[in-house]
Amino acid sequence: MEEWWRGGVIYQIYPRSFQDTNSDGIGDLKGITKRLEYIAELGVDAVWISPIFSSPMKDMGYDVSDYKNIDPIFGTLEDFDELVDRAHSLDLKVMIDQVLSHSSDQHPFFLESREGKNNPKSDWYVWSDPLSNGSAPNNWLSIFEGVAWEWEARRKQYYLHNFLVCQPDFNFHNKEVQDWLLSTVRFWLDRGVDGFRLDTVNYYFHDKKLRDNPARLQSVESVLVNPYYMQEHIHSISQPENITFIENLRVLVDQYEDCALIGEISNIDLMAEYTKGNKRLQLAYSFELLGTEFSSKHIKDVIEYFFEISPNGNPCWSFSNHDVIRHLSRWSEEQDSLTGFAKLTAAILLSLEGTICLFQGEELGQTESDLDFEELTDPLGKRFWPENKGRDGCRTPMVWNSEKEYAGFSDVKPWLPVKDSQLKRASYQQLSDPESVLSFYKLMLSFRKNNKELRNGKTTFIDIHEQILAFSRKFDEKIILCVFNLAKDSIKLKAEGVECANSQITCGVKFSNNLLKFEPNGFIFLRANSGNTIFKVVN
């Protein structure tokens, strides 16, 4: 049986911003269920739903207070069961976010743990005595809030938090903690989910000796904003014990038919390590293609490097998600040509080898919302403003219909604003336009699904021109050549031994007598004839 996730496409839903049905300005599970047909018609294989568990929402659900219940702002367990049933009836798999590394400080186990050193949950979180001068036990830093240690007067100890102060880290060195967390995973598997996106999957274990992290040797621009990136985090995260837990998690998930795990990973080396063989994660993604660099060389280098260190691996690629500036805004300042650029990036992403994640609104050519400080909810943005405006700009509500108030997302003021620049890219207005970004995503998703070369073929890059990204995808002796112009100027190529793979998937390219003229953002898919394929730049 072919595994659905291998070469598949997953659509990420940010539930707070997808569809509100109870008029509180916040999206909910019933809203997702209402829109599942729209997602199925796109042609994706699965949905990944960002956190929906009970939470004080200090970090928008990534601070969990009850791992076996739905937060009331999203609905009920019955609403969730209805969502899963409806998704399955539409042949959509359902994956949910699983936040195992830390809980909310309002979780009953932490409330008990902080009370003293001799209760049943006293060792369920990471506690340490202060140094002799009263300071924190080591130099570890939090991504969000400076020092990674917070003082608790009742225990006269510090607790570890890699993120917000209100997100204490579980002590994974305690086997009881591991067993309990695995039981929460089983709870959702029994309710019919098809897999999990594992938040910060390499953050589970810490160095038991609490050794200091060394300074980071290479300079990075982000250290000017957040000192977290001035350290090499070799002791606070990514410990070898992590792999053993991942393997135990895989054993559990494999007891259920056709389920998959996607891990959020710091870098591509760990991405390969955590997906090695068939006993760890099926999938993992890192941030190499979620950054600021967009060039043919960068894309080529990242993908070639992954398959160099993991020749049999199955990577997961994305250009946008809930943690980064939307890729059209990261990579292009030319608003007038965004439609063409959106199609170009869609064509590139959906022709890559591996599994693909799309972020809600990406299929509309959605851009980052420019928010004022007073409109922010994200603690990251509030702390590092204005150098880092946080993640709210990519999390604003889905725009369904520009003719309706609040874009059809809600009939009351949403939790984040809908700006005019986002409103004009509403889905309803794009549905009947064959030249729209939405129509192209549907076309490209169908092209990928119906051509095993793109879904399962192996990749070979072709050097043509520094601004041309070109590679072949080969499956069962069939080859599709994928050629993209990333330059701001037109480029002409002479091609021998090719034919157009599908005239509908050619955009901004004139193909005549083996001469290809690429406009900016132009791309084409070609089939290789027998013999060698040769590309030459023509002046």
Catalytic residues: 199, 264
Residues 6+ apart with CB under 8 A from 368: 325, 326, 328, 329, 330, 393, 394
Task: Return the residue matching tokens 């192996």.
Answer: 458
H or E element, residue 68: strand 66-70
Q: Closest by alpha carbon to 66, among 79, 78, 80, 56?
A: 56
Edge-to-edge strands, sheet with 157-160: 127-128, 157-160, 149-152
Do the beta carbons of residue 527 and residue 501 sit within 8 Å?
Answer: yes
Cα distance between residue 299 and residue 484, in whole Å: 12
Cα distance between residue 107 and residue 27, in whole Å: 24
Residues 6+ apart with CB under 8 A from 58: 104, 164, 166, 167, 379
- Under DSSP, is residue 288 helix (H, G, I), strand (E, B) or coil? coil
Tokens of 251: 């054993």
Q: Closest by alpha carbon to 416, among 361, 347, 498?
A: 361
- Under DSSP, is residue 380 helix (H, G, I), strand (E, B) or coil? helix
Edge-to-edge strands, sheet with 9-13: 283-285, 260-264, 195-198, 93-98, 46-49, 9-13, 355-359, 316-317
